[in-house]
Amino acid sequence: MRQPSPTAYSRLQIRLHWLVFALLVLQYLLHEPITEAFDMVEEGVASVLSPLVAAHVFGGFLIFVLAGARIYLRMERGVPPLPETDPPLQRMAARVTHLGLYALLIAMPVSGALAWFRGNEAAAEAHEVMRIILLALIALHLGAALYHQFIVKDGLMQRMRRGDPV
């Protein structure tokens, strides 16, 4: 039988949310070296595996693992229900956005790995397109969080600040 939804995110869920956020910032800031290295490989010039290229690969791998942990916790422990006060359409938009974010946190590293380790051109193109969709979803997500904080003033942000110990 399914457990009732918790009333708050756990501390671990909150830590993972912000850790993934910090790693994503690094992935976007440090993409130049891997883009250049990938261009060189495509042109047939052997490229050196620099620390910044390795950081992009390792950072992406870490995001993959942490996103997997988040999805597992979501299924095992559950998450607090979306605010009852939100109109149904808004809650539906939140659900779709969250689903899209989780999907891209998995699809970005997978496409990146296929491009880098297999030289798969279609995966490289998908990686490029998805990075823009991911940014758009994050902007939407941030916009929604700010809307709740400053317009609705329902304290939703607190849910990603202090959590349940379990």
113: contact with ligand HEM by CB under 6 A = yes
Contacts (CB under 6 A) with ligand HEM, residues 21-50: 21, 24, 27-28, 31, 34-35, 38
Interface with ligand HEM includes 123 (CB under 6 A)? no
In the three-class reduction of DSSP (H, G, I as helix; E, B as strand; rest coil), residue 49 is classed as: coil
127 binds ligand HEM (CB under 6 A): yes
* Span 60-89, contacts to ligand HEM by CB under 6 A: 60-61, 63, 74, 79-80, 82
**DSSP letter for each residue of 87-125:** -HHHHHHHHHHHHHHHHHHHHHHHHHHHHHHH--HHHHH
3-state helix, strand, coil in the chain (%, to 5): 75, 0, 25
Write down the least CB distance from residue 21 to ligand HEM, Å: 4
93 binds ligand HEM per the rule CB under 6 A: no
Rounded Cα distance, 100 and 90, in Å? 15
Q: What separation in angstroms does the CA of 119 have from each of 37, 41, 100, 129?
A: 12, 8, 26, 17
Structure tokens at 15: 């830590």
The residues binding ligand HEM (CB under 6 A) are 17, 20-21, 24, 27-28, 31, 34-35, 38, 56-57, 60-61, 63, 74, 79-80, 82, 98, 101-102, 105, 108-109, 112-113, 115-116, 124, 127-128, 131, 138, 141-142, 145, 156-157, 159-160
